[in-house]
Chains A and B, each alone.
Chain A
Amino acid sequence: MTALIREKEKNVAQAAYQPRIVGFLCNWCSYAGADKAGTAQIAYPANLQIIRVMCSGRVEPQFVLQAFKQGADGVLILACHPGDCHYKEGNLRAAQRHTLLLRVLEQLGIKRSRCRFDHVSAVEGEKFVRIIQEMVDELNNKKGE
């Protein structure tokens, strides 16, 4: 009986687990892309907490570490496509920082899948939704491992 209850509690706990993702979205492309998904009324998982930043280049690695420290399961950085940056190359710098940050995060015990960088333009509402869905699925799978 006790084992049965425990099993049930475990199932409930697993069902209740929802990965929390902190998303840093660039004001000019990706945030507009998220807005596009909203105006098009495309449903997407409610796991993402969006923080709007003026440029993906503004996302200091400190912000990412702070998010993980405060319990984020994933951190998502969305930038303009190469060549589209409002500040010319902020997105390129963000991409390079992210690559370097991933290597440090691995040494600090945080898997690559928990920190994702991608490009979303102002018209890519569907891509925005797809990225979130992929990340939520991946984090759910990882948690089950």
Chain B
Amino acid sequence: MADKPKLAMYWAASCGGCEIAVVNLHEKILDLDAAFDFFFCPCLLDTKISTIEALPDQEIAVTFFNGAIRTAENEEMARLLRRKSRLLIAFGTCATEGSIPGLANLSTREELLRTVYLDNPTIDNPEGILPLPSSEVAGGTLQLPVFYDRVLPLKQVVTVDYFIPGCPPEAHQIWNVVAAVAAGQPLPPPGSTLGAGQLSVCHECSRRKGEKKIARFYRTSEITPEPDICLLEQGLLCMGIATRDGCGAPCPQANMPCSGCYGPPAGVADQGAAMIAALGSILDPGDCRGKSEAEIAGQLAALLDTIPDYAGTFYKYSLAGSILGGRVKS
């Protein structure tokens, strides 16, 4: 027991889906348990932080760190686990790119707190109490972790050895990584992405792809797509074209457009920008012959108006890790 290498899993700003993905290993989780001493995972196990603190540095063989960095507590745990781990792996797209929590970067910290604690119609907070890092109460001082201005991906806080993208990562890909580490196989250079491909989801999607021209966008509820033809060609805003493969393209094969959860493909710094580049080239604003520049611009604007939320669609999973990282102060 004591001889087995230690495996830890921690959640920062995340939903718990990454832990579910690990449990989705099904019976292979017994193999994982046979190869590792899976000793720390607040979602599943009752190990205390003091146990981690008491370990010698670099004692943990592998830490899967899921979730983005939202609070000072997230950062503190990231630093602690970095110190105690030989391999720190950003696990899931919250840790690699900020994912859904990262969309908070479209608002300021003050806007977020105001909406959540003051303005929501269901809020009853007549004294306007906001969470503070430190509050005096009758029994003494209460401490809360500081809520940061921005959501950060893990790599902006500590050095990350490897990245496993996915919201959540597919179980078979998790197993590939676990098996490779357990067998002591040589790993790619530090900083590489594991458990995913290098190309785009289109590479794995079996739908037929032809010349793309989009004259109108549809919401998924508006049409029943043809089963064999590329969803983007049918006007569904499929992010597969700007998203890393490795998932096996289950969404487009179930008639749902890819929402981009594996983040940008290899070599792409900004998933949203890649999607704008791809989409801008295939928009079809209709017949422009004999029309003025203003009329053509109007036709294009009408086409784009049918997309409900640009940043929320193109950067759904990668805003915090994108070039600008969110809304900037003008």
- On A, residues with C-beta under 8 Å from B are 57, 60-62, 64-66, 68-69, 82, 93-94, 96-101, 103-104, 107-111
Contact = CB atoms under 8 A, between A and B. Distances in A.
Interface stretch (B86-94, B177-185, B277-285): B277-285
B281 A104 contact: no
B276 A104 contact: yes
Contacts of A93: 280-281
Given A62-B270, A101-B276, A69 B281 contact: no
Interface string B28-66: 000000000000000000000000000000000000000
Contacts of B314: 104
Interface of B: 106, 268-270, 272-274, 276-277, 279-281, 283, 285, 293, 297, 300-301, 304, 310-311, 314, 322-324, 326-330
B273 A108 contact: no
Q: Is the interface of A mostly helix, strand, loop or mixed?
A: helix
A96 B270 contact: no
B137 to A, nearest CB: 38
Contact of A97 (B269, B276, B310, B324): B276
A60 B279 CA distance: 12
Given A96-B283, A96-B300, A104-B272, A61 B327 contact: no
A61 B328 contact: no
Given A66-B269, A109-B330, 7 more contacts: A61-B272, A62-B269, A65-B324, A100-B280, A108-B311, A108-B324, A111-B330
Contacts of B273: 60-62, 64-65, 101
B304 A100 contact: yes
Contacts of B270: 61-62, 65
B311 A104 contact: yes
A64 B324 CA distance: 11
A97 B328 CA distance: 21
Given A96-B280, A100-B310, A101-B280, A68 B324 contact: yes
A103 B330 CA distance: 15
A91 B143 CA distance: 57
A69 B324 contact: yes
Nearest to B326: A108
Nearest to A70: B323
Nearest to A59: B277
Contacts of B301: 99
A100 B327 contact: no
A110 B285 CA distance: 25
